[in-house]
Amino acid sequence: MNKKVFLGALTVAGLAAGASAAATLDDVKARGSLKCGSNEGLAGFAAPDANGVWQGFDVSLCRAIAAAVLGDAQAVEFVPLTSQTRFTALAAGEVDVLVRNSTWTFSRDTDLKLDFVGANYYDGQGFMVRNDLGVSSAKELDGSTVCIQTGTTTELNLADFFRVNNISYEPVPVATNAEGQQQYLAGACDVYTTDISGLAATRATFENASEHVILPEVVSKEPLGPAVRHGDSEWADIVRWTLNALIAAEEYGVTSANVMELAAGPTTNPEINRLLGTEGELGAMIALDKDWAVRAIAAVGNYGEVFERNIGEATPIGLARGLNAQWTEGGLLYAPPFR
Amino acid sequence: MSAGRTDPVAFVRREMLAPAAPPPGQVGVIRWVRENLVSSWFNAILTALSLYAIRYVLSGVLPWTLNGVWNATSLNECREIRDARGLETAACWAVINERWLQILFGFYPTDDRLLATLFYSDALAAAGGADAVFNGGLNATQRVEFVSGMKNELSNGLIFLFGYWRPLLALACLVVAVAPILYSSLPRVLLLFSLAFPFVAFFLLWGGSVWLPLLVALGLLATMLIGRAVGARFGMLGGSLAGIAAFLVIFMNPLSFLGVTGLFPLLPKVLGVMDSILPWGLSAIPSDQFGGFMLAIIIGTSGIVLSLPLGIVLALGRQSSMPLIQWVCVTFIEVIRGVPLIVWLFTASLLLNYFLPPGTSFDLLLRVIIMVTLFASAYIAEVVRGGLAALPKGQYEAADSLGLDYWKSMRLIVLPQALKISIPGIVNTFIGLFKDTTLVVFIGLRDPLGLTNAIRATAEWNGIYWELYIFVGLLFFTFCFFMSRYSMYLEQRLRTDHR
């Protein structure tokens, strides 16, 4: 009898889990807000302003999803996750989507039962040195001391790169980016290495930023992207195509300023018409209404606007588009057609 | 020497001489300096070296601290102001000036409705009145814009006093509730408030229906009264059983194994009725919005209050002559104490999710409080065991010879002495516990140190370290210093020996 009850409970629990996994969209709508796993604070990507409202590059994607699904860009609960807790929190259903500068890798996509739905930022590991070191390439770094965060993929990438190029170096292990920054400034190491976006953000805080230079070599691929749980393809579609809508909007010249005008009536470009719902029924195919992309773009702007506002060259972080330019401009951003 | 003597005495002093001033080298500052600073050539060298070291440190720290910039909107502006003033170094206290509310309260929501009604009424009326803004008229985006605009207008001091009145009132209640426990000169009636405080604090901090904490308190009271009434008639065993039965009926469903649901527990039913009659309450605030130094105080206070009784019970259990109880206590203490706190916190935040059925959301803050309490109680148990071991055996035997039973002898003879001996150790553990609350940053709670990271991630304040850490350090120091001073006061007051 007891065993039966136990098995029954397990079945019910399993069903409940299956049901909850398959209906993230319904959960979000019922809750009235999107739970977005975010960084606890990463310059340019996620940070609270003085009123406690989150801003940043990753944050904008969460807001775009909320705008598309709920019509309300601020209806997002940000759940700060550390690099240790992020994937378990997503798997356990504590968040609906994880947009936390997480690298899309094979094992995370398969073994951890996550689905990366795209890349919103193509990053890579780089090196920063002082100008007066007189170094212009990472291959001239023989015999240098390198500050490196322990326990990260950057540590392994560094070892690979220097071994392949037959360069000797002395690692100075640091625990956090903040510590690395201080050690580098104090002269404990000649080189500081981490993701290029992180290096740029770090360099932007220096009093004399022009005395430091980021070397041209990029030694790893770090495609950062939003992730959702395995097993709910409908929800994955919504997140994937919201990201694609922002990217496509930039390609077709749709901005937060002109999106309302363009959505008012059909334009001469059928791709824009389908994206903005003035032609076809694309929204209904992902269980949203036809204005979903209009709301997302109106709320945060297209990909280019989000980039320029948070991490672009006008901001203190000052990142160039680089790999994150549209494919038409020599970058990697390539949204599949909206049809 | 009679009055009739007529010896010619040249001079007789009839009054005392005023005492002469001591030699100049033996008084006041000079003497103190001679005795303490330059009593020998070796000490003189040490003094010179120390003075040089102090001057070196202060000349670095003081200008930086005192010349600090208080009004700026970003680190770069701080640096510009510093350069404009022609200073070498200057702290950028502006970050504290702008963000101190965030460090204190994290992202705990302010009472925007109250703030708007009191200080922003014109704009509120323009936006359609309080109900339109805060009760569904506007969507979240418009509301956030309204509130951001309001907060940019208001000073941080006003937001602190009126926006955060709930945590502030809870803190004031904490002070009132703790005072009669700490200082025995206060009237004993106040202890009733101390008992009610957990429910008051829960209501203020988490909000929700006023009836939930009230009914839980009443339920516990009813359990106790029923147990006592039955116990008076049918003895202790009957009383305990009746108390347990009442507890089960009120708070749980004792018939669940029979498949009978819907009858018990009684609490939610009464709650539903009361809520429909008088729907009183505050807006509910989920625990994932708690943060900042407030989080440290909540976890620290709960941990301290709960771990002391648990630790004492564990210490007594470890000394028990009943093997089962002894083994359980020893195992518990050794296992909990043998594993680092951070591991227990990870267990609480990550592993429990796998064991609990999916869909149950067991509050993370509650999990953390339980883990911290268990961890501290294992340490307290060992500290108290030290106190118990320090008592002469004669005290135990004296209690036995008076005919006291186990609990009476512990309560009246053994524990008062053992706990007195253990005070420094207990307070030591408490201070450690309070500081360990910063470890919750690793499981994603927004503790003050985690918030410094978040603040540093903004474009304006990226690259600022010392100012934030000093501020957080001062907050913790204030609390820990108070605890340590109180422990010294308590030792002084309880001193009964004649040393």
Query: How much is the pLDDT for A242?
Result: 96
Summary mean pLDDT of chain B: 86
Which chain B residues have a beta carbon less than 8 Å from that of A41?
A: 450, 453-457
**Does the beta-carbon distance from A43 to B459 stay under 8 Å?**
yes
CA distance B480 to B483: 5
CA distance A275 to A263: 9
Instruction: Say whether pLDDT at B360 is over 70.
Output: no
Q: Confidence band (pLDDT; 50, 70, 90) for B361?
A: low
Query: How much is the pLDDT for B338?
Result: 92
CA distance B462 to B454: 9
ipTM passes above 0.90: no
Instruction: Say whether pLDDT at B256 is over 70.
Output: no
Q: Confidence band (pLDDT; 50, 70, 90) for B353?
A: low
B32 inside 8 A of chain A by CB? no
B438 inside 8 A of chain A by CB? no
Are residues A271 and A252 in contact, defined by beta-carbon separation less than 8 angstroms? Answer: yes
Query: Which residues, in sequence order, are bridge partners of residue A47?
Result: A55
Query: How much is the pLDDT for A326?
Result: 95
Which among A243, A299, A304 is positioned nearest to A275, based on CA atoms? A243
Neighbours of B237 (CB within 10 A): 10
**Does the beta-carbon distance from B457 to A47 stay under 8 Å?**
yes
Are residues A216 and A137 in contact, defined by beta-carbon separation less than 8 angstroms? Answer: yes
- Comparison of pLDDT for A145 and B269, the residue scoring more: A145
Percent of chain B with pLDDT over 90: 37
A20 inside 8 A of chain B by CB? yes
Mind telling me how many Å the CA of B355 is from chain A's nearest CA? 11
Show the CA angle centred on residue B357, arms to residues A15 and B275, nearest 5°: 100
Neighbours of A157 (CB within 10 A): 18
Instruction: Say whether pLDDT at B13 is over 50.
Output: yes
Residues in chain B: 499
Long-range contacts of B139-142 (CB under 8 A, 24+ apart): B139/A71, B139/A72, B139/A74, B139/A75, B140/A33, B140/A72, B140/A73, B140/A74, B140/A75, B141/A72, B141/A73, B141/A74, B141/A75, B141/A299
- CA–CA distances in Å: residue A173 to residues A148, B48, B453: 5, 39, 20
Of A9, A40, A55, the CB nearest to B453: A40
Query: How much is the pLDDT for A11?
Result: 40
Query: How much is the pLDDT for A28?
Result: 94
**Does the beta-carbon distance from B357 to A16 stay under 8 Å?**
yes
- CA–CA distances in Å: residue B59 to residues A186, B55, B56, B69: 20, 6, 5, 18
**Does the beta-carbon distance from B463 to A205 stay under 8 Å?**
yes
A124 inside 8 A of chain B by CB? no
Which chain A residues have a beta carbon less than 8 Å from that of B444?
A: 40, 79-82, 85, 89
Tokens at A112, concatenated: 């951890």
Instruction: Say whether pLDDT at B339 is over 60.
Output: yes
Q: pLDDT of B180-234, one tens digit each?
A: 888 878 888 888 888 899 999 999 999 888 888 888 888 888 888 888 888 888 8
Mind telling me how many Å the CA of A140 is from chain B's nearest CA? 29
Tokens at B114, concatenated: 């109250």
Q: For testing the chain B interface, which of A205, A208, A295, A309 should be mutated: the one with the most B CBs within 10 Å?
A: A205
Query: How much is the pLDDT for B382?
Result: 94
**Does the beta-carbon distance from A317 to B459 stay under 8 Å?**
yes
CA distance B111 to B169: 13
The stretch B397-419 carries a mean pLDDT of: 90
Query: How much is the pLDDT for A14?
Result: 41
| Selected residues 143-162 of chain A with any CB under 8 Å from a CB in chain B | none
Which amino acid is present at B268?
A: P
Least confident of B48-62, B83-97, B130-144, B419-433: B130-144
Of A52, A74, A181, the CB nearest to B102: A52
The stretch B310-336 carries a mean pLDDT of: 93
A257 inside 8 A of chain B by CB? no
**Does the beta-carbon distance from B450 to A9 stay under 8 Å?**
no
**Does the beta-carbon distance from B454 to A47 stay under 8 Å?**
yes
Q: For testing the chain B interface, which of A1, A49, A76, A87 should be mutated: the one with the most B CBs within 10 Å?
A: A49
Nearby residues of A257 by Cβ (< 8 Å), 6 or more positions away: none
Which runs of consecutive H residues, i.e. helices, occur in chain A? 2-22, 24-31, 57-70, 86-91, 106-110, 153-164, 177-185, 196-205, 233-251, 259-264, 270-276, 282-285, 292-300, 303-310
Domains of chain B: 33-66 (no CATH), 115-163 (no CATH), 164-207 (no CATH), 209-282 (no CATH), 286-499 (1.10.3720.10)
Q: What is the pTM of this model?
A: 0.83
Query: How much is the pLDDT for A287?
Result: 92
> Tens place of pLDDT for every residue, chain A, 339 residues?
344 444 444 444 444 444 444 589 999 999 999 999 998 888 889 999 888 899 999 999 999 999 999 999 999 999 888 777 788 889 888 899 999 988 898 888 998 889 999 999 999 999 999 998 888 888 888 889 999 987 677 888 888 898 999 989 999 988 777 788 888 988 899 999 988 888 888 888 888 888 999 888 888 888 999 999 998 999 999 999 999 999 999 999 999 999 999 999 888 999 999 999 998 889 999 999 999 999 999 999 999 999 999 999 888 888 889 899 999 999 999 999 998
Domains of chain A: 24-122+223-329 (3.40.190.10), 125-220 (3.40.190.10)
Q: pLDDT of B86-143, one tens digit each?
A: 888 889 999 999 999 999 999 999 988 888 888 888 888 887 777 777 876 677 888 8
B2 inside 8 A of chain A by CB? no
Of all residues in chain B, the one with the smallest CA distance to A92 is B353
